[in-house]
Chains A and B, each alone.
Chain A
């Protein structure tokens, strides 16, 4: 066998082994609506998240945005401009009343407005994708979950980890001997930004800067931490019983009272803790979750994931061929979603990142539930639990004290 032949053989062999070891299933197929016109949908909330949704929605043939709603006139104008032929509404009730053809709504408004919109949409018989956290109070979270129970509707929270192929892949490892016992979890969201929306008009400033309004904001731990908290719930299959926290305004001394740096420690009943940290003063290491296991640790970073093995962990056959990346003294094995397909094409080493942002997978998963009746990756009960725990974690960080997590929230 020549040198080149041997190399090709190694690549194919790597693919074959990796197919067993790396990938429980391939990337999800695109959601389709065979034989029918696209499902008419509406976007409620045309801010930054709503705009990101529009980019991903354009890739999904099965749906068409026919209406856009935002109570802020400028945002509504921008939203309508960005969607050909969409009708604009300043009020979600007017939208639900007038556009009976709208089968599903995507709720991307400020968190404290979610409940009324979600309840009205569910009451009007529409499928609902609601950004996470699903609400800003525990009672509102309960109300949304309660309204969805027993309905033949897809009511899905925007918890993007559960539908993310990389996270689904890593989930399999987290539950196997490859990782073994999870002893600790660490997660962070670091981003150097003011979290303030620029607006020269005072009334608009108050409305747009709801994240900095202590009356309605659930802070960094609540707004950003909800995603990591849900991943911890999912991977652990259990829930924290108490949460303690702290925080302060460390950097943005602009009169705000909502912390720009906050911590929360979530205590699980088996002694494992999730240490969560978020700041608006630094972007170091961005946003990720780390599950520390006795055989290996897994680092999840939305589009990528790595496994760091202990020296005494058993060797797995596929490791020899896997991509690796050095992190100072540690070597991470890249966990590749879609490895089977990539290996067949001889492109295993190219597929180190997801082909779409995680939002695309979350929206596709929702439409699969709405159109095909499939079970969503994240249920509204998952959304209620993660959001309620995130709200309590925020309250703990504000109080600088431990807060119990009521069992009835966790179901």
Chain B
């Protein structure tokens, strides 16, 4: 996942908490080894090498994650789509993958679409039904790893912890001693839209949000990271998988959910298509930053006066 993970723990002997933190981080590391797009020995690389040749058996844990991907792809009307890998690769947006340079030409949109991924629950197999397909779980792997790490902590008996990855994914277990919830401040969104050169964007009205988290996960998506020059202007690493074009709608999207993997996938989807907030499940909370201002909806996020409430 190429990012830094941190665990904050309270409420137990030091040796126990240290062991719990080690176990949580080891869990994240093992998911990184399994889901990395850039390690040749990851299970994901194995899938991408062989799933176009016929049904490929995978372990039950990965299969369960793939089923979750299918459900989230359907729930977000395709705005979350892990089959976006060939597009990312064609545009040179795989930052760690030095082997693949942007070849130019037309992005292979026909190779994108999770509905062309065949999952057989009885045999635990995956098959790509179109040529050139590949999975990139970057929009859900971090959340999934955080969920798994949180499960390790809960299983060990930890009742108070916060885990974060890449300053964009958070899972809160319980609340800090003496407080109602863990609080995460979301800085004011930048003015300007994704793909318009955020370095020159001006901050909008200084309205931060505060997410209150108790046994809840948070994910924040923004089109930072690598930007390459495309024929129609700058292209960020957030693509709308339905069109193959960069998302140009929101400058930041934040989502809370019981599971970090759902928050992760939904924040990516809302960045691409903020209108999807209207069909977000009732268990989700969301905030979308556009043109320097927030729109919020659902649960949990503390919205100061003046912030528009969404539908």
**A residues adjacent to B (C-beta < 8 A):** 48, 52, 54-55, 57-59, 61, 74, 81-84, 193-194, 196-201, 252, 254-255, 303, 349-357
Contacts and interface: CB of A to CB of B under 8 A. Distances in A.
Given A58-B124, A82-B60, A82-B61, A196 B156 contact: no
Given A252-B15, A252-B18, 16 more contacts: A48-B26, A54-B60, A55-B43, A55-B62, A58-B57, A84-B124, A194-B18, A194-B22, A196-B15, A196-B18, A196-B19, A197-B19, A198-B16, A198-B156, A255-B15, A354-B40
Query: From DSSP, what is the main secondary structure of chain A's interface residues?
Result: loop
23 contacts: A55-B34, A55-B62, A57-B59, A58-B58, A58-B62, A58-B124, A59-B58, A74-B155, A81-B60, A82-B59, A82-B60, A194-B19, A196-B18, A196-B22, A200-B12, A200-B16, A200-B156, A201-B157, A252-B15, A254-B15, A255-B15, A303-B41, A356-B46
B57 A198 contact: no
Contacts, number: 84
B46 A198 contact: no
Contacts of B39: 353
B14 interface: yes
B46 A59 contact: yes
B30 interface: yes
A136 to B, nearest CB: 22
Given A59-B57, A82-B61, A355-B46, A193 B22 contact: yes
Nearest to A82: B60
Contact of A198 (B19, B43, B45): B19
B23 interface: yes
B60 A198 contact: no
Contacts of A74: 155
Contacts of A196: 15, 18-19, 22
Contact of A83 (B12, B30, B57, B60): B60
Contacts of B279: none
Size range of the chain B interface in the assembly: 20 to 34
Contacts of B226: none
B99 interface: yes
A74 B58 CA distance: 23
B20 interface: yes
Contact of A199 (B34, B58, B60, B156): B156
Interface string B158-173: 1000000000000000
A11 B47 CA distance: 28
A194 B15 contact: yes
B101 interface: no
B15 A84 contact: no
Nearest to A353: B40
